Each structure stands twice: as C-alpha cells, then as structure tokens.
C-alpha cells in the first residue's frame, strides 16, 4: 500500500520532516487567509456592492466559523483519525477558495468564506496533533512546534503583503485562487506521507457536547467582535454574549457529568496546561490589535505602499522564524517558565521601543522594535504551545490543539475589542475638534484615519489640511496609548508565566499509553 507503514513500525520511523513540510505548507495558507482579505476589501466593495452588514460578514465569517469549530473537529480527529479530518479539510479549503474567487454576489462570498473557516478548523488542530504524534521525542517535537508556530506567525504577517502584490496585477478573486495549487499538491502528498492516528476511542463521541461548544464559541466570539467594532453597549452584543456564556456553561456541566468527556476539564487546573492556554490568550490579545494599527500607521501616516509596508514588516517575520528555529535549544536551556516569561518581557521592551515612532519615518527604530517584537512574540507562543501540548497524552492531542487554537482566536478577537477601544477613545475626540470643518465631516473623520484622509481630500484648502494633520497627530497619540496598554498586558503575562513548570515535565513516549496507530488509508472498526 503506497505510503503505508506496516503494523508494528512506530510513526517516528516515517520521514518525520517530510510530514512537517506538508503540514506547514497547508498551515501557511490557512494563516495567510486569515489576513489576506484585509487589503482586498475596497476592491470587493466596488465590485460586489455589499451592504455594510454583508461586508462585515464577508470579513468576519471566516474567523468566526474557524474558531467555533476547532474543538468539534479537533476532538473528532481524535476519534475517527486526524489524517482523515485533515485531508477532508484540504478538499474543503480548495473548493471554498474556488467558490470565493468567482463569487458573483455578497451572499455567495459569505458562504465561501464560511466554508473556508470550516476547512481551516479541520486543518489547524489536525496539523498540531499529528506533530504531537509524529515527534514523540520532546526535543525533536520542540523544534517541530517551533517551525510550525513560526510558519503560522509568518503567514498571518505576510497576508496583507501577498494580497497587496496580487491586487496590483489581478482582480480581488486572485487572493483566494493562490490556495488551490498548493492544496492540489497537499491533498495527494498528504494521503501518501501523513500517518493516521487516533486516541483510545473509549466511549461514543459526544456529538451534543461538540455542537454546544461550537454554538457557544460562535456566540461569544461574535459578541467580542461586535464590541471591537464599536457595538459594545448594544442589545445584539449583550444577547450574543449572554447566549454564548450560557451555552458554554451548559457544555462544561455536560462534560463534568460524562464518563468520557470531549475535553478533560481537569487539565486546566494543571499549571503546564492551564497557564499555557492563558499565556496564549494574553500574547495574542496584546498584539493582534497592534498589527492593524501598524498597517494603518505605515500606509496612512507615513504614506507607504502595501508592498513597502510588507517590506517594513519583514524584520518581524524573519525574527519570528529565527525564534522558532532556536526555540528547542532555548527550551532546553531555560525551561518553560523562564522561556515564556522572557518572551513576554522581550515583547514588552519591543512595544515600548515602538512608542518612539511619530509622524516622521524612523526606519532604524522601527526595525529594532519589529525584530524584538517578532523574536519575543514567537518565543512566548512557542513555549506556551509546547508546554500545553506536552502536558497531555498523545491520544488527547487533537482536543488539546483545538483548545490552543481556540485560545489564539479568542485572544485575537478580545485584543481587537480592547485595544481598538483604547485607540478609538484617544483618536475620535481629537479629530472632532478641528476648526473650520463641519460637524458631519468631523463625525465621519472620527470613525477612522482612512476616512479622515478621504474627508480632508474632499474638503481641500486650509480646513482640509488642518483635518489631515489633526487626524494623523491623533492617530499617533492613540497608537502610543495602545502600545502602553499592550505593554501592561505583556508584563501581566510575564508574571502569569511564573506558574509554568520550571523544568521540562509532562507526557513522553515512555510514560503514556500508546495511542492507536493505523497504516495510511486503513481504519479500525
């Protein structure tokens, strides 16, 4: 059987690094897709003419669907086979990409983006749980997770750059078409080289619990996103938050009563697992809002093109790759506690360095800040993911990976809501006090820096110039306050990391019951 491993030969005897390449290639696309649409929104709006609500769903349905379904598909992979779920995710992602690229109406594009989220939810936890299985040795696994997390960080960072380059030469659908060739390669190659594995499969899969978790997470993250968009004190946000919290509470009660729960909730009481999940949330919460602020600063304050913006962010990506490659050695030398705490501290220093930026281009300060930011961010995420995944048996790897990815998505939504609120509180009032500009125009300018520059260009003359200067000054001031708020969160994360184990501990290939390993393409009844 092509690509099969004869029974009795452990998974680690496969070509582990080939498996890693296949998994990282697919993960890169999922990470790029999370941010690539940001630069294509104007072109989509011009072509499809979506309403405001439709445009919001076009942007948000992908992360919403992905985050809501991570636990469902992560735990399903533990039951029916992680490779099987991953390959179905590849096919779903490719088909959804084709549908999105040629969408003729906003409704079709929303559907396609939702299906992309479904495919992403299949792919992301499966890649990490297969790594947990294929690399039973903790040192090798640490290196593999470092590469995996660096690829995820780089993918998210280069998404706007890839989108900007494509939009300079092609129509907006091209940002989705790039997925199809790589998925067309990953699907047959993955079928040949990826090993199949499951957990112990004790008891039936809790379908009701999986659906409760999916619905609850969807509602909670929707509420967080609405709050980040300025709808903090609205009935819709309150209803979504209340419904989500109620469903998640019902999910927790259900899991505690079941003999074979989907999620081992007792894991959260263990420092290596629970603290790692909290550190992932804090890291992403602190920094995801800054990514949007950085893109606006570089393009709207400094006047750089999308390509130039991507090149300015390149040091961050390169530093993240370096930290991922060095992560295994740092983990051996420092241990989880000191490594994660050091990553938080280094990232806080980077954020404070970036407060030196103003409305003048300072490339050296920016480069130093981005290098420290990329290295510190990746160090923190590496240590957190590795500690979390090593604390659970390999048979529960899918569920653990899903929890980690859900924490990442939740932290991202919460970060945009919290840091976006800080930014808006500093920016909007300053813009609305410009002499010579009408109330309607200043109200519009207070929505965003991009809208302020559009209004200023339309007004022209001295009032337009005054509005432009005021908006840029207000944005830079808001950026500084947002950076300071982020630094406080990062310092809190450094103290939280002190609960992590000092030394390398957790499950290894020797001290845990071996999970079910199946030859490629073979399933056990």
Q: CA 309 to CA 290: how far, in whole Å?
A: 14
Enter the pTM of the model: 0.76
DSSP-H helix ranges across 355-396: 363-390
Q: For 435-455, write each residue's pLDDT tens digit.
A: 777 777 777 777 777 778 888
* Residue 361 CB coordination number (10 Å): 14
Q: pLDDT (tens digit, 0 to 9) for every residue of the chain, 525 residues total?
A: 333 333 333 444 447 778 888 888 877 877 777 667 766 777 787 788 887 667 777 877 887 788 788 888 887 877 778 888 889 998 998 999 999 889 888 889 889 988 998 888 888 888 877 877 787 777 777 778 778 777 777 776 677 677 777 777 788 888 888 888 888 888 888 888 887 766 655 656 777 777 888 888 888 877 877 776 666 667 877 888 888 888 888 888 887 887 777 777 777 778 778 888 888 888 888 776 676 677 778 878 888 876 677 778 788 878 888 887 787 788 888 888 899 999 999 999 999 999 998 888 888 998 999 899 889 988 998 888 888 877 777 666 667 777 777 787 777 777 777 777 787 778 778 777 777 777 777 777 777 777 788 888 887 777 778 888 888 888 888 888 888 988 999 999 999 888 888 776 555 433 444 333 333 333 322
* CA distances to 69, 431, 451, 461, 504 from 440, in Å: 42, 12, 12, 18, 60
Predicted local confidence at residue 202, as pLDDT: 61
Q: Are 462 and 436 in contact (CB under 8 A)?
A: yes
* CA distances to 66, 294, 316, 352, 379 from 306, in Å: 27, 12, 16, 25, 27
Q: CA 255 to CA 264: how far, in whole Å?
A: 8
Q: Within the chain, how many helices (H) and strands (E) appear?
A: 18, 2
Q: CA 71 to CA 68: how far, in whole Å?
A: 7
Q: Are 155 and 27 in contact (CB under 8 A)?
A: yes
DSSP 369: H
Predicted local confidence at residue 2, as pLDDT: 34
422 is written with which tokens? 């800080």
76 is written with which tokens? 């399903």
Tokens 């509005």, located at residue: 467
Q: CA 138 to CA 370: how far, in whole Å?
A: 30
* CA distances to 78, 123, 382, 500 from 141, in Å: 19, 19, 11, 19
Q: For 186-218, write each residue's pLDDT tens digit.
A: 888 888 888 776 665 565 677 777 788 888 888
Helix (H, G, I), strand (E, B) or coil at 518: strand
Q: Are 250 and 212 in contact (CB under 8 A)?
A: yes
Q: E strands, 193-296, where? A: 196-198
Q: CA 118 to CA 115: how far, in whole Å?
A: 5
- Over the Cα atoms of the chain, what is R_g? 23
> What structural domains and CATH numbers belong to the chain?
11-205 (1.20.1250.20), 269-506 (1.20.1250.20)
Helix (H, G, I), strand (E, B) or coil at 287: helix
Q: Is 380 exposed, middle or buried (0-12, 13-18, 19+ CB in 10 A)?
A: buried
What is the biggest distance separating any 2 CA atoms in the chain, rounded to whole angstroms? 80
Q: For 239-255, write each residue's pLDDT tens digit.
A: 888 888 888 888 888 87
* CA distances to 191, 196, 400 from 19, in Å: 11, 12, 20
Q: For 99-126, write each residue's pLDDT tens digit.
A: 988 988 888 988 998 899 888 888 888 8
334 is written with which tokens? 């420092």
* CA distances to 11, 394, 401, 409, 413 from 60, in Å: 38, 33, 22, 12, 10
Predicted local confidence at residue 54, as pLDDT: 77
Q: Which helix (H) or strand (E) holds 411?
A: helix 397-431
Q: CA 489 to CA 482: how far, in whole Å?
A: 11
Q: E strands, 88-129, where? A: none
């Amino acid at each position: 059987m092509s690509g099969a491993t004869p029974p009795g030969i452990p998974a680690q005897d496969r070509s582990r690094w080939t498996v890693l390449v296949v998994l990282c290639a697919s993960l890169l696309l999922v990470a790029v897709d999370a941010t690539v649409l940001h630069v294509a929104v104007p072109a989509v709006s011009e072509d499809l003419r979506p309403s405001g609500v439709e445009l919001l769903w076009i942007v948000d349905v992908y992360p919403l669907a992905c985050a809501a379904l991570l636990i469902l598909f992560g735990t399903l992979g533990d039951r029916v086979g992680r490779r099987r779920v991953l390959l179905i995710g590849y096919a779903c992602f490719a088909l959804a990409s084709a549908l999105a690229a040629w969408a003729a109406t906003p409704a079709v594009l929303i559907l396609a983006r939702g299906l992309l989220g479904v495919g992403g939810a299949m792919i992301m936890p499966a890649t990490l749980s297969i790594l947990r299985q294929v690399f039973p040795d903790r040192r090798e696994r640490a290196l593999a997770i470092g590469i995996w997390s660096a690829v995820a960080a780089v993918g998210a960072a280069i998404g706007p750059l890839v989108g900007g380059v494509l939009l300079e030469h092609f129509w907006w659908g091209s940002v989705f078409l790039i997925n199809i060739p790589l998925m067309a390669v990953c699907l047959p190659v993955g079928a040949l080289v990826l090993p199949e594995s499951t957990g112990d499969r004790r008891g039936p899969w809790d379908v009701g619990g999986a659906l409760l978790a999916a619905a609850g997470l969807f509602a909670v993250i929707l509420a967080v996103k609405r709050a980040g968009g300025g709808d903090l004190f609205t009935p819709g946000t309150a209803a979504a938050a209340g419904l989500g919290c109620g469903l998640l509470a019902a999910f927790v009660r259900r899991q505690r009563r079941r003999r074979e729960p989907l999620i081992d909730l007792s894991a959260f009481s263990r420092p290596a697992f629970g603290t790692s999940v909290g550190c992932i949330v804090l890291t992403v919460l602190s920094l995801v809002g800054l990514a949007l602020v950085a893109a606006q600063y570089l393009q709207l304050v400094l006047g750089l093109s999308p390509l130039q913006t991507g090149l300015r962010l390149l040091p961050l990506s390169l530093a993240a790759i370096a930290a991922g490659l060095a992560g295994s050695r740092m983990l051996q030398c420092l241990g989880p506690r000191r490594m994660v705490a050091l990553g938080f501290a280094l990232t806080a220093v980077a954020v404070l360095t970036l407060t030196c930026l103003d409305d003048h281009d300072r490339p050296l300060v920016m480069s130093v800040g981005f290098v420290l930011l990329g290295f510190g961010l990746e160090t923190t995420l590496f240590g957190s993911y590795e500690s979390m995944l090593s604390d659970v048996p390999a048979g529960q790897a899918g569920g653990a990976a899903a929890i980690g990815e859900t924490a990442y998505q939740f932290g991202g939504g919460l970060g945009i809501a919290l840091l976006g609120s800080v930014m808006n509180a500093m920016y909007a009032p300053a813009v609305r006090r410009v002499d010579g500009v009408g109330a309607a125009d200043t109200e519009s300018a207070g929505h965003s820096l991009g809208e302020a520059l559009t209004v200023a260009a339309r007004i022209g003359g001295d009032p337009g110039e005054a509005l432009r200067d005021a908006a840029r000054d207000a944005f830079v001031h808001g950026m500084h306050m947002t950076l300071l708020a982020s630094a406080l969160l990062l310092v809190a994360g450094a103290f939280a990391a002190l609960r992590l184990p000092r030394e390398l501990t957790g499950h290894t290939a020797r001290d845990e019951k071996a999970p079910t390993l199946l030859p490629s393409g073979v399933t056990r009844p």
